[in-house]
Homo-oligomer: A and B are copies of this chain.
């Protein structure tokens, strides 16, 4: 085999993997947007077959041989080819380390856990779900030992979602948050002014909200010839390649801002995928690098741009044009205050910008305890209640608004939550760096976000998965991740919004 032949084999292998994942993604998108309700069985059959075709294609000795050969001829590869070999070698090592029967048993466990969780949440019956948490954590600990026998199991899973992230980094991060945000929340409660947001909960016809989504995507400089918008129960972004990205939202007739911030959030994810380099198409590098970096992009647009006064000033004439009866008597500043109202609450996905990360911190503490064995699974509701009281000052009335609220654990995703918080914090530091090149408020005032998007494309998007998240972050920001940018940003913003004494 020549290096040239090996490279074309590598390219073809990646194209085939990409095609199978495109197909599976399309079937998934259809299932949550368009498919009739009774069609799950045949789709499951097809997705199962496509997934085993992908497994057979990749997890076989020919791939191992090919990757080994290319590693031995590293000197003859381009930077991108080297990176493809690194990423695929990592994937190959992981896949080949878990015995196939154990992997299949885990998939079956997860399938069962998901339906048990749905029912348990509906019926507020935590004990029904508890044994599944126990079994899933036990399996994940075993798998972690297969992957990296010398590493703490929970660190292994953190690393899955955000390469390089450890409990040591997260410990520092959450400690800083706890020190600054928890007291800030208490000050707002005791000394802050009252903010009226009642006008956000009027009647907002869906047809008008759809027009609003189109407008928001236009302002965000999202190329609609390559990015569609659909409607689903839970908003998400899916990309098939850099020229075919879809976002979804959910409209609530009695709530304007729910879909507004979904669209801006998913739009941020979409811009990342749309901005990747052309040369990465159909390779394993053609996607955002990690959960954390992805979330930094969605949260940047949702919070730092979308909830800024400059952005409200830009879009408010359109908001009033679309909803003259509902918002004709409300001025832009009132609207700005209302969308930034902060109030400790029970449900993570409804939390405001200030309290959001504390919800994540509760989950992080619990995941750590479960992996270290410091908590019995049946004690989780109590632990949950105690932490929510300590961080957010709220009382948890039942498990469905508490420990049962999220689907992640039932899907086997432990170590995933922290990437939401860390990504949110990354965004503040990236903003700080961006401000050295751009005046963000002036960019926004110019009428659309093209200048900001171009900056992000140059510093983040175009690299796709070329660099691990910490490397990419360092390249972009010129320094390591530091949570103080985030806490400073929140402190400054909410001190002003709530008119607190600065001192």
Contact = CB atoms under 8 A, between A and B. Distances in A.
Interface in A26-45: 26-27, 29-30, 33-39, 41-43, 45
A342 interface: no
Interface stretch (A109-117, A218-226, A412-420): A218-226
Interface in A234-270: 240-241, 243-244
B244 A34 contact: no
B226 A36 contact: yes
A41 B225 contact: no
A366 interface: no
Contacts of A71: none
Contacts of A49: 15-16, 18-19
A228 interface: yes
Copies of this chain, how many? 2
Nearest to A226: B38
Nearest to A230: B34
A19 B46 contact: yes
A281 interface: yes
A19 B244 CA distance: 22
Interface residues of A, number: 40
Nearest to A28: B26
Among the interface residues A19, A37, A224, which one has the most CB atoms of the partner chain B within 10 A?
A19
A22 B42 CA distance: 9
A281 B37 CA distance: 18
Contacts of A41: 243
A243 B24 CA distance: 19
Nearest to A42: B241
A223 B38 contact: yes
Interface in A62-81: none
Nearest to A36: B228
A240 B42 contact: yes
Nearest to A12: B49
A42 B230 contact: no
A230 B427 CA distance: 40
A282 interface: yes
Given A19-B50, A23-B23, A30-B30, A42 B243 contact: yes
A277 to B, nearest CB: 15
A46 to B, nearest CB: 4
A162 B480 CA distance: 69
A38 B33 CA distance: 20
Nearest to A18: B46
A493 to B, nearest CB: 35
Given A26-B23, A30-B30, A240-B42, A227 B36 contact: yes
Contacts of A29: 30
Interface of A: 15-16, 18-20, 22-24, 26-27, 29-30, 33-39, 41-43, 45-46, 49-50, 53, 223-228, 230, 240-241, 243-244, 281-282
A-B CB proximity, top 6 nearest:
A38-B225, A23-B23, A19-B49, A39-B244, A42-B241, A19-B46
19 contacts: A15-B49, A19-B50, A20-B50, A22-B46, A23-B24, A26-B26, A29-B30, A30-B30, A33-B34, A34-B34, A34-B228, A35-B244, A36-B224, A36-B225, A36-B227, A38-B223, A38-B225, A39-B244, A53-B53
